Amino acid sequence: MLLTDKFSVFDFFSDGIKHSVYRLGDGSKPGVLIIQELPGIGKQTIALAERLHRDGFTVYLPHLFGQFNAPITPVRNLVKLCVNLEFRLLANRRRSPISDWLRALSRKISEECNGSIGAIGMCLTGGFVLTLMMDESVSAPVLSQPTHLGGFKESNQETLGVPQADLDAAISRSKRDDIEVLGLRFTGDKACTKSRFDKLESLFGDRFRRVEIDSSLFNEEKIQPFAHAVLTLDFKDQENHPTMTAYRNVVEFFNEKIGNQG
**What are the tens digits of pLDDT across the range 100-159?**
999 999 999 999 999 999 999 998 888 889 999 999 999 999 999 998 765 455 555 677
Let me know: does 221 contact 242? Beta carbons within 8 Å. Answer: yes
CATH 3.40.50.1820 fits 10-258, yes or no: yes
Supply the pLDDT for residue 91.
46
The predicted model scores a pTM of 0.90
Write out the H or E segment, with its range, that includes residue 62: strand 58-63
Nearest to 85 by CA among 66, 70, 98, 75: 98
* % of the chain exceeding 90 in pLDDT: 66
Beta bridge partners of 23: 8, 60
In the predicted structure, residue 76 carries a pLDDT above the cut 70 = no
Q: Which of 173, 187, 186 is nearest to 234 (CA)?
A: 186
Inform me whether the pLDDT recorded for 23 exceeds 80. yes
For the residues 211-238, what does the mean pLDDT come to?
94
Which of 136-140, 147-151, 179-183, 212-216 shows the lowest mean pLDDT across its residues?
Answer: 147-151
Residue type, 65: F
Per domain, the residue ranges of the chain are 10-258
Q: How many helices (H) and strands (E) does the chain have?
A: 7, 8
What's the chain's average pLDDT? 86
- Between 35-44, 230-239, 244-253, the lowest mean confidence (pLDDT) is in 35-44
Encode burial over 74-107: b for 16+ CB neighbours within 10 A, e otherwise. Answer: eeebeeebeebebbbbeebeebbbbbebbbbbbb
Whole-number Å distance between alpha carbons of 17 and 55 = 31
User: Is a pLDDT exceeding 60 seen at residue 74?
Assistant: no
